[in-house]
Amino acid sequence: MAETPAPALPPAPTDVPQIKIKLRRRRQRACDEKNQKGKVCCGHLKRWFDYPKEVERLIGPRAEIYRCERCQTLYRPDPNELPRSYTLRF
Residue 43 within a domain: yes
More confident residue, 19 or 14: 19
Residue 9 within a domain: no
Report pLDDT digits (tens) over 6-15: 666 555 555 4
Residue 2 within a domain: no
Residues 6 or more apart in contact with residue 32 via CB below 8 angstroms: 25, 40, 41
Residue 87 within a domain: yes
Report pLDDT digits (tens) over 27-75: 899 999 998 999 999 999 999 999 899 999 988 888 889 999 999 999 9
Distance of CA 3 to CAs 6, 10, 47, 66, 69, Å? Answer: 9, 21, 59, 57, 54
Looking at residue 43, its pLDDT comes to 96
Residue 1 pLDDT grade (very low, low, confident, very high; cuts 50, 70, 90): low
Domain that holds residue 55: 19-90
Residue 11 within a domain: no
Residue 76 within a domain: yes
Please state the domain count of the chain: 1
Q: What backbone phi and psi angles, to 5 degrees, belong to 29?
A: -120, -15
Residue 8 within a domain: no
Looking at residue 82, its pLDDT comes to 77
Q: Which residue from 50, 40, 90 is spatially nearest to 70, judged by alpha carbons?
A: 40
List the Cα angle 16/22/23 in 5-degree steps.
160
Residue 47 within a domain: yes
